[in-house]
Amino acid sequence: MIQGVQLDMISADMMSKMTSYEKIRLILDDVHNGSVVVLEKGLSPDEQGRLLEATMMEIAPGGFSGIEIETYPAFDGDKSFVQKLFGKKNKEQHLMVIGPVEQLKMLTRDKDRLIAWASAPQ
């Protein structure tokens, strides 16, 4: 049997065809199974809030410990001159990484990359 970390990379196209509930359920089910989920396009702020609420309801002593989540913002080149001038952030997310809190740790996030450490499920 192969040991390691399973990465579930989910396309923006697939996610666009799902309801918010289906997205959250897919993510939580994958994370419960020890997978690290990488979304090509992140969740909306509302969906992120719902994901965190659902996660909190599923945390159990000796069981599910929760999730680690990191989003990578859109490239600043996508901003208009006015957005740059007034410092408005582009709210669209390009990449989101979600995994079991005991297996995934974000080490660095800068303008060009995310660096994460992931361990195999115990």
Total tally of structural domains belonging to the chain: 1
Tell whether 2 is covered by a domain: no
Residue 70 in domain: yes
pTM, 2 dp: 0.77
Tokens 């969906």 sit on residue: 47
The pLDDT score that the predictor gives to residue 79 is: 52
Is residue 65 within a helix (H) or strand (E), and if so which, with residue range?
Answer: none
Range 76-105 burial, b when 16+ CB lie within 10 A, else e: eeeeeeeeeeeeeebeebbbbbbbbeebbe
pLDDT in tens, the chain (122 residues): 567 888 899 999 999 999 999 999 999 999 999 899 999 999 998 999 999 999 999 998 888 889 988 887 644 555 555 555 555 555 556 788 898 888 888 777 777 777 788 887 77
Structural domain including 34 reads 7-118
Paired with 38 in beta bridges are: 9, 97
Short-list 27, 12, 11, 3, CA closest to 118: 3
In this structure, is residue 44 part of a structural domain? yes
pLDDT at 92: 58
Residue 2: predicted pLDDT: 65
Residue 9 region, left (φ>0) first, then alpha (ψ -120 to 50), else beta?
A: beta
